[in-house]
Amino acid sequence: MMATMQQFKADFFKALAHPLRIQILEVLSTGEKSVSELQDSMNSEGSAVSQQLSILRAKNIVIGRKQGKSVIYSLKDPSIIRLLDAAREIFNNHLIDTVSMLEEMEEDKSF
């Protein structure tokens, strides 16, 4: 069972391992959007967005529903928002550590 969970996590994080996919998830964290709405908010080409949505859909990270001629996408699990927030917090912590280290280096130079 543990190996299965680890494999799921590895596959899940592989599916997230693209900046455009992360951006799509961040936009969808504010609510459901059509492909054209995603393209507009991200200033990205339709084919690139559609390709990345396809990968996210295949991994059950986003879901789509037909509405007229459009497909409306949303996050399958709202827990993804917490995951993105945690990643942002980790980034900020790394940034704070880097700034602190640079400040210490500058102080050492002044002696």
Number of domains composing the chain: 2
Full residue range of the structural domain in which residue 95 is found? 78-111
- Residue 68 falls in which region: left (phi positive, over 0), alpha (psi -120 to 50) or beta: left
CATH number of the domain at 16, please. Answer: 1.10.10.10
Asked whether residue 17 falls in the same domain as residue 41, the answer is yes
Q: pLDDT confidence of 95, banded at 50, 70, 90?
A: confident
* pLDDT tens sequence across 64-86: 999 999 999 999 999 999 999 99
* Pair 67, 19 in one domain: yes
β-strand partners of 63 = 74
Do 60 and 76 form a contact (C-beta atoms < 8 A)?
yes
Rounded Cα distance, 37 and 70, in Å: 11
Record the pTM.
0.81
Same domain, 59 and 93: no
- Provide the pLDDT confidence category of residue 40 given band limits of 50, 70 and 90: very high
Residues 16 and 48 occupy one common structural domain: yes
